[in-house]
Structure 1
């Protein structure tokens, strides 16, 4: 065999291999050993992917944009050599890294889809971020921990969520009355409304139409109840039932009081695109409620039934019942968002404390707007301080604590007055004033909660340092045994 140059031998072998395997034939593609890119990511890229996943989960479950960015930057500062830029614009999460003049920049974009809020998952993710920031966990272990958190996420059953929403309806009723029949009916209406919302959401109905259908259904139920009361006035138990309060107990689950507070929170933190999108969502959802109530009132009119669908004529009950209602509302809100038992109890306590602060200042001559802001500041401060001690996310107790303060019903009242009256009339102007009042209350609550959170963080760090310096109970017992 004649001697051939090395390059000719290699060329001949390549041609022979090409004859055996036709790369254009689909059946032969499986024979090629393709490189699995995902299994060979650089540590830098893995860190960015980890950051993206944690930020996506937190923001989609309602955590404020500033807190999400703060947690995400803590991760990248730990694992990445080059600085990272993170941007959130409501439905889009962007992570970008400039790797110098010799390498292409890296940019990751993910569309954010709203998830059901789960405070237990939020707590686990925030604890993981804190471990990364304090350099207590490697990148590989952090990835395993994230996978474990997402795969073993704990949540309550749908029926428990329905019950918690029924509890919110009952808690709102207790603010206005101590009548057992009304409280029970409010609970049932809240339960039914939550069930309707969940069923419509699961079949993919847009949120605007969900609001319309649910609000119309609640109004029609209240109309039927009113008609029943008018026909059976002789029954003693019927005479205690207020259809207006029954309707409000269902509508309160639809109002976007917390959403407008969250939107203004993002505006205060200078995430203006996110804040604008959330405010528009508040307008659309509240507009859906107004349209649904209007349709329900039209059906009620055809039934020769008239009743008020706004709580303007309702008066608050005794202060004791108000505190009970505030505690039930806050605790049930935490339960509906899958908080642990400790978080549920603390949310009820913080809710009562915040409501107590607002009542104290209002009774001493302060207007509701600044009183709500001061109460929200107290809620934000106390929630931030106790969050690390009791191992619950501060967002859980802050959100639940300000629930009795949020102006959801005020916002709904204003829109109803604007829709039902012509421009230029006194009631129309009153409705515009009510809307402005709701907006101002929401601003002060958002500002108060944010400021309380800011001043609470250094206090929390000092308390943790003091706690770490104190001798543990086990050390004290050992010391006593040695002395004896």
Structure 2
């Protein structure tokens, strides 16, 4: 009996390195651990590797390959470095994975394309991101019932905070301290406005000024990881979100101390204060906030209008449900179910990953202000703080579970309807559902060659 041919370790490590680099970009862009693991497995399978397994944590990716029981396993590790979220790059990588799985490109071309994606800069100037975040702040202020002055202040504060944090990031200051500085700046803006004859609520100015720092996809990714069996990564994402919010709380507290030193009487400050505007303003504000966030995250321009329409509809559903007596969590769940149900076909229509659409559309619904309120009240009223934190947890779970339930229901809308039973796996916000598409391509090739 002939001994098996030795495997080419260099070819194996080359394919595994490609999968790890793709996984690193997906994870740093906010993709869930299950999506990252599945994408890495699909890439390895498409490159001809068998017997691979991928493990994902918040800061490290591990991939193992052992083709036979008597082979020595090959293990590669990759640290996940922080990089600015770029949904344009995420979209290009998503297309790369699909092309590789469908055998439209080979491993060499996939590696070359990935190198170009990583080495190429952003497709829009950085100042436009600050402008977009200002528009996002204005949109959220509209949703929260701010008048014209509050909307303008929110826009200016959001842009100024982004520029400040960008400067501090260049100095390699940790993110926590960047959040402290942002919260301090937002509060000082409120202090300056209150010192003028303008008739504004300092609580509302502060709440709308810090909202940009509280938004993000950490909650979505954390709950997705918890629901799909990655509790370690879920806990790390939640801890990062709470630390970021704690930094804002510290910054706001420092700003209030400065107001006391200057003798500016702010009056009673209600942390996390907001009230929903009327329905038209809520819908328009939600649409503006979502589209602006998508633009600031370098999403393809073709996705901005669908994101605005879908987010405006979801925020409108949330507002109507809340008016009809739904609790905050149930109103959020209904809106999130709508998002998940329509994000799948919308993302396919505009050729972007579903994560790009969902992450932008949920921005007006995130429980950042509620978490901020809970952390702020810990020292003064623990019972109210506990209630606020429980409410924030309920909103986060309702938002994420509603989105993923919508994704489950939306999967058979397209061509997978005839294979519904086998396709109802964990919904993929990035990448194809499984590498079995590759086997279908090979089967069709064999049939044509007969």
Q: TM-score range by the shorter chain?
A: 0.7 to 0.9
Does 1:270 find its partner at 2:224?
no
* Structure 2 partner of 1:329: 289
* Structure 2 partner of 1:432: 386
Q: TM-score when scaled to structure 1?
A: 0.80
Pair 72,388 (structure 1): closer, same or farther in 2 beyond 3 Å: same
Does 1:209 find its partner at 2:177?
yes
Alignment of 1:34-433 (within 5 A): 42-177=10-145, 179-229=147-197, 238-239=198-199, 241-255=200-214, 258-307=217-266, 308-310=268-270, 314-419=274-379, 421=380, 427-433=381-387
Deviation at 1:416, TM superposition (A): 1.2
Deviation at 1:303, TM superposition (A): 1.7
Pair 315,360 (structure 1): closer, same or farther in 2 beyond 3 Å: closer
Deviation at 1:257, TM superposition (A): 5.6
Distance in 2 of aligned mates of 1:295 and 1:276? 28
Q: Which runs of 5+ in 2 are unaligned?
A: 1-7, 420-450
Deviation at 1:96, TM superposition (A): 0.6
Once the two structures are overlaid, the 10-residue window that deviates more, 173-182 or 446-455, is: 173-182
Please say if residues 384 and 460 of structure 1, whose CA atoms lie closer than 8 Å, have aligned partners that are also in contact. Answer: no
Cα deviations by residue, 1:128-170 (Å, 9 ceiling, x for unpaired) = 1111222222222222222232233543222111111111111
Please say if residues 257 and 407 of structure 1, whose CA atoms lie closer than 8 Å, have aligned partners that are also in contact. Answer: no
- Which of the pair has more CA radius of gyration? 1
Please say if residues 372 and 405 of structure 1, whose CA atoms lie closer than 8 Å, have aligned partners that are also in contact. Answer: yes
Deviation at 1:296, TM superposition (A): 1.1
- Let me know the Cα RMSD of the aligned residues: 2.1
Pair 43,360 (structure 1): closer, same or farther in 2 beyond 3 Å: same
The 3-state SS of whatever aligns with 1:253 is helix
Pair 464,223 (structure 1): closer, same or farther in 2 beyond 3 Å: farther
The 3-state SS of whatever aligns with 1:306 is coil
Cα deviations by residue, 1:200-252 (Å, 9 ceiling, x for unpaired) = 112111111111122112212211221123xxxxxxxx33x443332222211
Distance in 2 of aligned mates of 1:382 and 1:196? 36
Total equivalences in the alignment: 411
Deviation at 1:260, TM superposition (A): 2.4
Deviation at 1:391, TM superposition (A): 0.6
Once the two structures are overlaid, the 10-residue window that deviates more, 191-200 or 72-81, is: 72-81
The 3-state SS of whatever aligns with 1:448 is helix
Please say if residues 64 and 75 of structure 2, whose CA atoms lie closer than 8 Å, have aligned partners that are also in contact. Answer: yes
Cα deviations by residue, 1:78-123 (Å, 9 ceiling, x for unpaired) = 2234221101110000011113344321011011012111111111
Distance in 2 of aligned mates of 1:464 and 1:204? 52
The 3-state SS of whatever aligns with 1:418 is coil
* Structure 2 partner of 1:11: none
Please say if residues 248 and 310 of structure 1, whose CA atoms lie closer than 8 Å, have aligned partners that are also in contact. Answer: no
Distance in 1 of aligned mates of 2:213 and 2:112? 38
* Structure 1 partner of 2:408: 454
Please say if residues 118 and 339 of structure 1, whose CA atoms lie closer than 8 Å, have aligned partners that are also in contact. Answer: yes
The 3-state SS of whatever aligns with 1:63 is coil
Please say if residues 256 and 286 of structure 1, whose CA atoms lie closer than 8 Å, have aligned partners that are also in contact. Answer: no
Deviation at 1:406, TM superposition (A): 1.0
Distance in 2 of aligned mates of 1:124 and 1:463? 27
Please say if residues 207 and 272 of structure 2, whose CA atoms lie closer than 8 Å, have aligned partners that are also in contact. Answer: no
Q: Which runs of 5+ in 1 are unaligned?
A: 1-39, 230-237, 422-426, 466-484
The 3-state SS of whatever aligns with 1:47 is helix
Cα deviations by residue, 1:261-304 (Å, 9 ceiling, x for unpaired) = 32122111111110111111122111111111111111111122
- Bigger relative contact order (CA 8 A; separation at least 6): 2
